[in-house]
Amino acid sequence: MILKAKNLYKTYDKSPILSGVSLSVKPGETIAICGRSGEGKTTLLHILGTLEEPDSGEIEIAGMRLTRSNAKELRNSQIGFIFQAYNLLEDFTALENVLMPARIARRNPKRDEGLELLALVGLEHKADVPAKVLSGGERQRVAIARALCNNPNLILADEPTGNLDRENGKKVGEILIHLKKTLILVTHDPELAALCNTRYVLQSGNIF
């Protein structure tokens, strides 16, 4: 298993958000998580991705039990994130954004590494353009290339097509599905969810 989560609980201000979520993710599996706004999809994705801690429950990533002391290393080596709002550094170029995870992991990446990642999303020609001049669809493709830096085993995407028009959303969705990576995707888009191997709905604190 790439990821195993057991009995995750999370409460915010006395409201239970997750009430015993368990989930196993096989290598190569693509999982869609749907659910109404406010049900806790982002919270779950952040907990699975080591960005937030659950109140209780256990997570194993690539066979290692997640703890406070190994969270940063597991995150840097195993997980790539894609957010609804892209979260690029606006004044940095597409290439610099793509290589940021390598710098965070204290690697010294070569330009060619970034160019190869940008080529995967069809944006090699935008390498030296600052993120702030890119279109929404282009930004999200840069964010996908960035998520692939450090060659993570698991990609977590939170409504990656939520801010895009239909055409760009379709393009971004297809790139994600064809990455041949293990993927957990939160989406409101039934067409994108239908492209995944496994579909869950998060409702009342649990997944079905």
Ligand X SMILES: Nc1ncnc2c1ncn2[C@@H]1O[C@H](COP(=O)(O)OP(=O)(O)OP(=O)(O)O)[C@@H](O)[C@H]1O
Chain residues in the site for ligand X (CB under 6 A): 12-13, 17, 35, 37-43
User: Based on CB atoms, which residue is closest to Mg ion, 48 or 95?
Assistant: 48
**Which residues contact residue 177 at a Cβ distance below 8 angstroms, ignoring those fewer than 6 apart?**
30, 183, 192, 195, 196
Q: Cα torsion at 178, 180, 184, 186 (round to 10°)?
A: -10
Shortest Cβ 167–Mg ion spacing (Å): 23
Strands 64-65 and 56-61: antiparallel
Smallest separation (angstroms) from ligand X to the CB of 158: 7
- Residues whose CB is less than 8 angstroms from the CB of residue 83 and which lie 6 or more positions away in sequence, other chains included: 143, 157, 158, 160
CB 12, min distance to ligand X, A: 3
Q: Of 19-27, 35-43, 54-62, 148-156, which segment contacts Mg ion by CB under 5 A? A: 35-43
Q: 121 or 200: whose CB is closer to ligand X? A: 200
Options 30, 42, 140, 161; binder of Mg ion; rule CB under 5 A: 42
Choices 34-42, 56-64, 100-108, 141-149; region in contact with Mg ion by CB under 5 A:
34-42
Let me know: does 70 contact 79? Beta carbons within 8 Å: no
* Closest distance to Mg ion from the beta carbon of 44 (Å): 9
43 binds, among ligand X, Mg ion, none (CB under 5 to 8 A by kind): ligand X
- Measured CA to CA, the distance from residue 44 to residue 22 in angstroms comes to 11
43 touches Mg ion (CB under 5 A): no
Give φ, ψ of 183 to 5 degrees: -135, 135
For position 140 contacting Mg ion by CB under 5 A, the verdict is no
User: How far is residue 171's CA from residue 138's CA, in Å, rounded to a whole number?
Assistant: 10
Give me the residues that bind Mg ion (CB under 5 A), please: 41-42
